[in-house]
A and B are shown apart, each in its own frame.
Chain A
Amino acid sequence: MSDTPAAVVVRRGAYHDSVALMRVSRALSDLPGVEAAMVAMATELNVTILRELGFTVPEAGPGDLLVAVRAHDPGAAVEEAERRLATAHRPQAAAQEQPPLTTRSAAAAVDAGLVLVSTPGEYAFLEAYDAVEAGLPVMIFSDGVPVERERQLKELAETRDVLVMGPDCGTAVIAGAGLGFANVLTPGPAGVVAASGTGAQQVTCLLDRAGVGVSHVLGVGGRDLSAEVGGLSTMRALRMLDDDPATELIVLVSKPPAPEVARAVRELPLRTPVVPAMLREGGPDLTEAAEQALRLLGRSVPEWPSWPAWHRARPSAERITGVYSGGTLATEAALITGSRDIVDYGDDAYTRGRAHPMIDPTLRVEALAGAAETDVVLMDVVLGHGADPDPAASLAHAVARTPATVVVALIGTDGDPQDLHRQAAAFREAGAAVFTSNAQAARHARSLL
């Protein structure tokens, strides 16, 4: 045994629970100059342990407290033990709530009406599956979900009677709440079912500009009308809007569907008129679809605002290139101009490990810097919640510096937080022609060649 001085003090009838005591023991043992320390009730077991540790234990019973220390200054160590025991009982702050770690637990904890999933695509299925399993509709903003998983989700959704919006659903508006990239729209009679986010944004922004508000925008994801998925969400969304008293007309925005899916959609027994806005060679563009909806609602079609460039286009323009953030807007531009140089920077290939170009302008700024003097660059600028709070701040500067001629399709409403008129003015000052209709912007670009 050690030569270090030891002390054993008995505190008769001083009860502390064993854990408090073990804690004090540990704290004491950690002190410099303390070789061994044990603060414990004098139970048979503890007395035996202390004796084995070489302490001489005075007569004491289980109701008595023992403070045993072997230290350079045992008196000080015993005092420290007493001090710690005295402060062992202090009031606790209320424990914090546990935040939900999965959609499953969030859905169990709150009475929610919708789940918005925007995790990286490889994990989105898990959270979306939780939502549907809990009987909640879900919007999957994420892309990169395998199509067979999309099918599984939507089949489960059929059994749970809920809507799956997406995957790769960029926008939705539910009873005035904008989800994902969403413009601020006046409430009104037009409902939208959209397999394309920016397509829906173009149509609804034009309707809003014409004074026709929107009831809801239900996204379904770009692959919903494919043969693999079979239009399950599109048909469900159409039936929901058909049952919605606020919706008088439905615009269905999509790429051309698989023929058998198109047939199934057509055969739905709906009371509400449906205006298709499906981009295809020779078909109506998005602006024309919006105009058709206006006419069906008995409204007049206004002039879509546009602002010519301050400078005339260079006479040497040779080709049209596209620097887009919206896939459907890019497709529309390609159909109208016939150009093969329309790039959609919102495509998966450009967004891996990088934010969407509606948020991160870097790639498009680079593309503008790399354009030639003989190019006409067509680009979209999409406003609304979720998008870049001031796209002109970076893009207008790039427009001013590019040697190319620039035509901007500015997709937004007067209610959008970015201030549509200020954005239009900034791009115009930078030298671009600005249109609120993407189709008109594309036609204008074509006229410059």
Chain B
Amino acid sequence: MTPRPRAALLDAPPHVITVGAGLLDEALRAQAVRTTTVDWRPPLPGTAEALATVLADPRRQAANERAVGRLLSARPHLAGVRRASEVLPAGTFLHAGPPITWERASGPMRGALVGAMLLEGLAGDEREAGDRLAAGAVELAPCHEHAAVGPMAGVVSPSMWLFEVNDAEHGGTAYCSLNEGLGKVLRYGAYGPQVLERLRWMDEVLGPALAAALERTGPIDLRALMAQALQMGDELHNRNRAATSLLLRVLAPALVETASEHAASVLRFIDGNDHFFLNAGMAAAKVSADAARDEPGSSLVVAMARNGTDFGVQVSGLGGRWFTGPAGVPDGLYLGSYGPADANPDIGDSTITETSGLGGFAMAAAPAIVRFVGGEVGDAVRATRSMYEITLAEHPAYQIPGLGFRGTPVGIDVALVARTGLLPVVNTGIAGRVAGTGQVGAGLVKPPVEAFTSALLTLAQSVSDQF
């Protein structure tokens, strides 16, 4: 005989979760029955049937638990730096976001590609670089498809150095370029002489110095460092001041010991750039999210990335397929007299931070930057709290002191996005729309809803194909 169901339901009037007609909730309250009311709204148009299919897929719950479990248990360590030429396929430049052609590339993406051509000596000037890129002289491939991520334009060419981050738990590796600083920089599409000069210095001095220093320090536990930085007011996308400082503390003695000739200039460079850590953090986020890939039936988002034209997402249960929509223009604050008219649509792989529960999802940890949104501390707390509605888990290590050390919301579920209509909160920098301009501001951006709904519909289709 099967075990009898527990009769706990019948022991006392239950606390009732009500979802739907307010009248029935009121009727319960009139009887002094405790209720919790779901603030329900219909799912995004055209998704109801796909949602039912995905929800009822018997693989889904366990698949999501496994996938998000790996995302949560990843232990990213900064293992070293490597020249991109060791990692890149020959004749290839990497770029941020889903695949893009030169023809469809936006101003800052083109600017960064031109800069990379000049840096690599593949063109003598801007015009020649553009012509050669238009002629397909260089293969363009998304960073994400080569275990890498890149902020803003995310262009990686052979003579750039990359952070190498290993996942001590699952064995993955991810790469991200070194951060150049703010203002006129390649990743924002600038390619003037000072940009190239800085990149050459990074190639000749910074990269080798970091390589030697990291060999001396041994792998640096980024999970622990990022957990600490969140408790020091970073959200690790638009604010990396604490994390950069923490990293600098570890690197400084090793730099002095291994690169004494350049130690001062390297330390000064890192100190002068609050975002130096961002790229290491992005590689950590990438290696963690990659651990969650390829779980059949899982509706977990494993990548969100923009190339300045399209915003793309990838889902664990759907392999390497990209689901895209037009990249939006961020709403934010502008440098100097720049304004929204100067802004390029959203660009960069840095949304890997939101994908792994940082950045906009951890806004409540970073009250110092909430006014990027033109908002208040309360808005930051609301932003983080709202993200628990579309995520599968709370991070065991990345915690928010102001929320009682609650773990950050991690693991975006495309089904929950479609059900709630809530889109991921994304913090971002804003690039100028004209190639060569550089950064013009920073703020918040809304991802396009169709990237998520088309992923959901495809997932539902894959369920139907399964049976």
Contacts and interface: CB of A to CB of B under 8 A. Distances in A.
A236 B5 contact: yes
Decide if the interface of chain A is mainly helix, strand, loop or mixed.
mixed
B9 A163 contact: yes
A290 B194 CA distance: 92
B10 A386 contact: no
Interface string A211-248: 00001100000000000000000001001110110100
A178 B377 CA distance: 42
Interface in A92-113: 92-107, 109-113
Interface string B408-450: 0000000010011010000000000000000001100000000
Nearest to A62: B272
Decide if the interface of chain B is mainly helix, strand, loop or mixed.
mixed
A97 B385 contact: yes
A177 to B, nearest CB: 4
B56 A129 contact: yes
B183 A131 contact: no
B41 A126 contact: no
Contacts of B1: 269
Contacts of B336: 25, 36, 38, 49-50, 52-53
A129 B52 CA distance: 9
Contact of B334 (A22, A175, A240): A22
A110 B37 contact: no
Contact of B9 (A129, A137, A215): A137
Contact of B19 (A106, A122, A137): A106
Nearest to B403: A95
Given A180-B24, A386-B24, A36 B337 contact: yes
Interface residues of B, number: 76
Contact of B18 (A105, A116, A215): A116
Given A36-B337, A117-B19, A126-B55, A95 B13 contact: no
Nearest to B374: A23
Contact of A105 (B37, B333, B337, B388): B388
Contact of A114 (B9, B38, B364, B389): B9
Given A50-B336, A95-B382, A112-B14, A152 B19 contact: no
A298 to B, nearest CB: 24
Contacts of B371: 19-20, 22-23
A243 B9 CA distance: 12
A348 to B, nearest CB: 16
Interface in A327-365: 359
B61 interface: yes
A17 interface: yes
Contacts of A29: 337, 339
A139 B31 CA distance: 17
B31 to A, nearest CB: 6
B5 A112 contact: no
Counting chain A CB atoms within 10 Å of each CB, the highest count among B7, B38, B388 belongs to B38
B386 interface: yes
A23 B333 contact: yes
A37 B374 CA distance: 17
A194 to B, nearest CB: 15
Interface string B359-374: 0000010001111101
A45 interface: yes
A131 to B, nearest CB: 7
Given A126-B43, A175-B14, A26 B51 contact: no
Contacts of A417: 30
B38 A240 contact: no
Contacts of B21: 118-119, 141
B8 interface: yes
B419 A102 contact: yes
Nearest to B15: A112
Interface string B366-409: 00111110101111111001101100000000000000000000
B36 interface: yes
B102 interface: no
Contacts of B369: 17, 19
Contacts of B382: 95-96, 98
A182 B16 CA distance: 15
Contacts of A93: 378
B368 A92 contact: no
Given A38-B337, A136-B17, A177-B14, A99 B39 contact: yes
A359 B364 CA distance: 44
Interface in B270-297: 272
B335 interface: yes
B404 to A, nearest CB: 13
19 contacts: A20-B371, A22-B334, A25-B333, A38-B336, A114-B15, A116-B20, A116-B28, A119-B21, A122-B48, A125-B52, A125-B55, A125-B56, A177-B33, A178-B28, A179-B24, A180-B27, A216-B10, A239-B4, A240-B7
Pairs of residues from A and B, 3 with the lowest C-beta to C-beta distance, nearest first = A113-B14, A118-B20, A95-B381
